[in-house]
Every structure is written in C-alpha cells, then in structure tokens.
Structure 1
Amino acid sequence: MIANQPQKTAAKSATSRATAGAEPSRRFCVAPMMDWTTSHYRYLARMLSRHTLLYTEMVTTGALIHGDTERFLRHNEAEYPLALQLGGSDARELAHCAALAERFGFDEVNLNVGCPSDRVQNNMIGACLMGHPDKVADGVRAMIEATDLPVTVKHRIGIDGRESWEELCEFVEKVADAGCRTFIAHARIAILDGLSPKENREIPPLKYDWVYGLKEKYPDLEIIINGGIKTFDECHQHLAHTDGVMLGREAYHNPWLLAGVDQVFFGDTPAATSRHDALRAMFPFIESELARGVYLGHMTRHLLGLFHGQPGGRRFRRHISENAHRPGAGLEVVEQALAMVPEQAAEETAPSGHAMA
C-alpha cells in the first residue's frame, strides 16, 4: 500500500517546507543524474520511499535565468523532500537561482562541483571548480545570503593536477568558511582531460577512506558519501564513518531497492508492499501528465527497471518499449504491461540487505 499520494503540482508561490522546519534528512539520498532523475523518476521513487532525499537533474543558472524557468523547476509536491541541483559559478547568478529554489518550494539547493564533462567545463561548471575553491566559496556565500534554504555542495575528492589530500582539505575549509555545512563527496577524483563522463565514473579508483577522513578531520560538518555504492550492507559500512549515503545508478536501474529504505534506515513502515502497488499508485499522476500533453514514453522509460529479475519482467519491459512510443499511447499500455507480471510473484518483502537481483 502507498501511504501518501498528494497530486498537487508545486507552484512558484509555494513555501518550502525546509524554511518552515528542520532540514531534510540526508541519511539516504538518490544522486542527481542527467536525463534520469526527472520528475517522472522522482515520483516513482517517492512511491517506494517517503524518506529518501531526492535530487533534481542539474539545472544550469543560465537555463533558469534565460530559459523557461517554470518548466525547469516544475515538480510535484509528492516528490518532497526534494533538492534542486544548480550548475554555475557566477555568484550573482547562483544567488538569483537559490532564491528561485526557495520560491518554488524546494527543500535544499545544491551546487554541482562534480560533473566532469567537457561541455560544462567550458562554462566553468562542475568538477573544474575544484580547482577554484575561492570561486566556489564566493558562490556559496552569495547563495546563503539569498535564501533560507540549506545550501550544500556535491564535489569530487579532487581533479587531475589537484588531487592531494591537502588540496581537498583546502577546498572543504574555504567552502565551509563561506557557510556551507554539508558536503556530498564522490569518492573519486575527476580526470578532466582525456576521460569521458562515463569513464570518470569507473576508471579513477574509489577512495572511501578519504571521505571518512573528511568526517574525522571536520566532525562539525555533515559529510555524505557517494560513488559505487550498491547494497544496503555497503551503506551500513559507510554510515559507520559518515553522516549519510548517496546512491546513483543502482537506485535508478533497480528502483525496488528504495522500498526497503524507510524501514532499514529510518525505522518506519515501508511505503510500498509490492511493485504492483507502487506502480498503480502512479496511475493518477501518469493520467494527469498525459492530460497536459506529456508523451507516455517520457514517463515509462523510468519504469523499466521496476520488475527487473521478476517473472514476467522481460515481457513488461518489452511491451512498454514497443508500445509507449505509439501515437496516442495512454495509461492502457502500462496497465497491459503490468498484467504480464504475475502479481503473486511481485508480493515480496522490501529489500533489507543486498540489492535485489
């Protein structure tokens, strides 16, 4: 069963819940991922977990200031707690966009200092900012002055040419002096010259001990660890040394993993008792999105991993893949695909340890 299914779309007049109370818990988070952590994926994630902190895809300050602001910041209240991730480096622009985050009802605003792609480097966005800690500090300071939301930074542990422990500590100290209290550390350096973003997620070695070292050296800061985490057992190991964990691709490709988060990490009852129930709880949302002209395939591409490893799961994925793109495709495509998965097989205990196969 699903405990809560609010349907109201957050508007620009919304008041952030974070400004009215405590900060969202970062004990368990899903990482911002371009083209993946869209509003449609986040709605599914929220049907599976009430407490997981969700992040938007990175949105650049230029897109928000010069583009369709309402479209970029549109989200559903069911997605809360929800953080907006910004990409940018100009302090005034970051301040303006941080104020927008509060105005649109987000719970946190996060600065991307970790994306290694050439495209964002050319605009002084992402991991290249690890080489400019003073610029990051200026941006964070301006954001903090512009909003009552918590301002956080997601970063690498270094970049090529600036990859020593001392330089990582210099970065953290300068940004902390600007007022940032929460650092989400991807436990790899980013190699900006010669590796693709995909290679940057795989080739540089993980150095979890460096992230542990940040928490030990700066106990008053909140340190969240990210990078290569796949199972709850691994999460528990990291939580012995840090304040929270952030999962990325595993939470996307294997979304049912999130169904165990509320019980395992927050001591609450599960939000969903079966994959069927979680998907059915999305039906009103899917219908409302279709009514405003959203293409069914834009939503269903995020559902393909829900029945991974389950009897009928392959037929579920095939039916959606072959039919969601057809002109006029509607909710019936999802209903037909769901009927191909034996419901008895899908009734299961939410994951409590290893990631589900």
Structure 2
Amino acid sequence: MQKQFELSGAMRFSVAPMVDVTDSVFRRLARLFSKKSMLYTEMIAADAVIHGKNYLLEFHDEELPCVLQLGGSDPKKLAAAAKIGAGFGYTEINLNAGCPSDKVQSGNFGAVLMKTPDLIADCVKAMQDAVSVPVTVKTRIGVDEDDSVDFTLKLVETIAATGCRHVILHARKAWLNGLSPKENRTIPPLDYERVYLVKSAFPNLRITINGGITTIDAVKDQLKRVDGVMLGRAIIDNPFILSKVDSEIFGSIEPMPSREELLYKAVDLAAKIKAEGIPVHHLMRHLLGLFNSCPGARLYRRYLSEHMTQLGAGPDVLIKAYKSMTDARKQEGNYGN
C-alpha cells in the first residue's frame, strides 16, 4: 500500500536548493525575510550522509520548514540517508534528478537519472519505505535528446506511480555534455507550457515550477497554473524579494519589513554566528544584493565586498556598509540644495 503523506502548505513558495548557497547560515538569514517559505538544503550526497558526515545535516529549529535534498542513484543508500535525515527532523526529503554538473554526472546521479526513469522510481520507493515524511522529486522536463512532451509525461507518470505526490520541474531540458551548470540554467529555452501540460495531465499531483521566474508578480501568475513556485538565483540577486512572500503569497497580515529593518536583523544574526565561530562573510555574501536598485547600492556592495572577509570582521561591517550608502545619499541631497 502506498503511503499517504501530508504535504506542507509552504510548498506554494520555495527557495531552490543551490550548491554553495543554501547552507544553514543562508537559511537562518532567509528566515529573517520569510517565516513561511519552504527552504532547502544544498544537494547532499547520500554517501556523505551514510558515512557519518552528520555536520552536513545540522540545522537550527528556526530554519523549518526545510527539505533535505539528497543526491544518489543507489536505492539502498538513498533509503539509509533519507532515514538519517528524517531523524534530524527535516520536513520532507527530496531526490535530485535534475542537476547537470560534471561532478554529479560522474556519480551517476542528478540529471543522469532522467535517462532511467525506472531507477528514479526505485529510489523514491526505497526512500518512502524508510521514512514517514514526504519524499519528493526535483527534475527537469528533458535531458539531451530525450526532450519530447511524451518523454516528460512518461517521466512524471513513472514518478507518480510510486505514490510520490509532489514533483518540482525546472522548465528547461538539461544538456549533459557541452554546457556548464551555469549555462544549463540559461541556454536551454524555458518551456512553461510543458509544465502546465504536466499539471493538466496529473491534476492530483502537486507540481512546482522552477526556472526564470524573478518577481513576486510572476510568482502569482504562475500560481494560477501550478501548485507551487520555486525561485533560486533571483533570491541571490535580490534577497529583498523574500520579504514580500509572506504577505503577498501566504496572506500574512504582519507588516512587511523594510530593507533597513532587515539589515539590522542581519546584524544581530551576524553577531550570533560570529560567536559560534563562523566567519561573518558566510552570512554577508548573501546580503550583497539587499539594496539593489536603491540609490547608493554600489557603494554598499563595494564596502561589504572589501571588508567582510577581513581578519576579525564583525557585524559592524554591515552597519558601515549601510552608512557608506546613506552618507552618499545625504551628500547628493545637499548638492541639490
């Protein structure tokens, strides 16, 4: 009998798993901007989990709801890793079947799995048998020459047959050879209509769309056609987007914080992580785009970039970066008098 899982309402908006980005420090920062969004870990290899690298799984309670994304192609190893991850308290476990990086390909997982949909199904079933939380899949609409509508529908049908109730679709194909991971995020054309077709074909399956979505208005438009929207690089470029999610996507009545309020919350978080022995640049690198499109943003970014990695850097770097921007604004104002 297939398990029936209760999927989190947070899936309406999620921040994509991103290697070297969505670590615990990033997720703690993201929670200052949005309490309701679904967050993800970086993709973590099942082998690393089962070989005792538990530090990769550690998180703080405020990061929840949070999904552990696993990479691998061995059902038994993925099941063991999922069980360990569920024991840590993650909200859901996600299988990466869409990452096209060379490192992932050499391990025979990520987007390579799309060439063997039955193996994806075997992995999902093994993970489901091992845990009592939902198991989901993140994949793409095609891979290499396997890029037809029929291929996409068959892929999703195979995943859905396991009892998996939530599939995240990056609305691009993946090229395993010839394109870098960065190029794979931009060169293969977006095909949102293909994702909408999947949703129509599987009305009882929760479908989240990912790829090329950069504004809250665009998120709202997508939610008219699918169940959830996932943003990745747009959050890195402009983290302030996250501050709008709770009110505009989830209907929260809490007032939306200003950029300045968020900056001073981040100052407090910087003090906490520094006390934990974590260099503050691990946090501040995610704040470089906080004032994008604001007057003086370039000065803020430059000060932060030049000072956050210096030996002994502390929370005051954020304050001084902000002051460099506001001082410039005042001077410009004076020149206009």
Check the 8 A contact 1:47/1:271 in 2, yes or no: no
Listed one character per residue, the Cα deviations across residues 146-189 of structure 1 (whole Å, up to 9, x for unaligned) are 11111110000010122121122221111111121100000111
| 1:328 paired residue number | 312
Check the 8 A contact 2:140/2:170 in 1, yes or no: yes
SS of the aligned residue for 1:97 comes to helix
Aligned residue runs from structure 1 range 1-357, under 5 A = 23-69=8-54, 71-270=55-254, 272-342=256-326
Q: How far apart in 1 are the matches of 2:134 and 2:111?
A: 21
Listed one character per residue, the Cα deviations across residues 42-87 of structure 1 (whole Å, up to 9, x for unaligned) are 2222111111111111111112122521x21122222111111111
Q: How far apart in 2 are the matches of 1:324 and 1:111?
A: 35
Deviates more, 1:111-120 or 1:263-272: 263-272
Q: CA deviation at 1:241?
A: 1.2
Matched to 1:32, the amino acid is P
Q: How far apart in 1 are the matches of 2:249 and 2:272?
A: 32
Q: How far apart in 2 are the matches of 1:55 and 1:240?
A: 24
Length-normalised TM-score, structure 1: 0.86
Q: CA deviation at 1:24?
A: 4.0
Check the 8 A contact 2:75/2:127 in 1, yes or no: yes
- The structure with higher relative contact order (CA 8 Å, sep 6+) is 1
Q: How far apart in 2 are the matches of 1:272 and 1:105?
A: 29
Deviates more, 1:150-159 or 1:331-340: 331-340
Check the 8 A contact 1:47/1:272 in 2, yes or no: no
Q: How far apart in 2 are the matches of 1:331 and 1:267?
A: 32
Check the 8 A contact 2:29/2:283 in 1, yes or no: no
Check the 8 A contact 2:38/2:65 in 1, yes or no: yes
Check the 8 A contact 2:98/2:110 in 1, yes or no: yes
Matched to 2:282, the amino acid is H
SS of the aligned residue for 1:37 comes to coil
Q: How far apart in 2 are the matches of 1:22 and 1:184?
A: 13
Q: How far apart in 2 are the matches of 1:20 and 1:207?
A: 29
- How many correspondences in the alignment? 325
Q: How far apart in 2 are the matches of 1:271 and 1:107?
A: 27
Residue segments in structure 2 that go unaligned for 5+ positions in a row = 330-337
Matched to 1:338, the amino acid is Y
| 2:333 paired residue number | none
Q: How far apart in 2 are the matches of 1:271 and 1:339?
A: 25
Q: How far apart in 2 are the matches of 1:160 and 1:56?
A: 27
SS of the aligned residue for 1:260 comes to helix
Listed one character per residue, the Cα deviations across residues 325-347 of structure 1 (whole Å, up to 9, x for unaligned) are 1111112222222333439x9xx
Q: Which structure shows the bigger proportion of residues in helix conformation?
A: 2
Q: CA RMSD of the aligned region, Å? A: 2.0
Q: CA deviation at 1:144?
A: 0.7
Q: How far apart in 2 are the matches of 1:240 and 1:162?
A: 28
Q: How far apart in 2 are the matches of 1:20 and 1:197?
A: 32
Length-normalised TM-score, structure 2: 0.91
Q: How far apart in 1 are the matches of 2:225 and 2:123?
A: 29
Q: CA deviation at 1:20?
A: 11
Q: How far apart in 2 are the matches of 1:20 and 1:146?
A: 13
Matched to 1:125, the amino acid is F
Q: How far apart in 2 are the matches of 1:237 and 1:287?
A: 39
Residue segments in structure 1 that go unaligned for 5+ positions in a row = 1-18, 346-357
Runs of 4+ in 1 over 4 A off after TM superposition: 19-22
Q: How far apart in 1 are the matches of 2:258 and 2:301?
A: 18
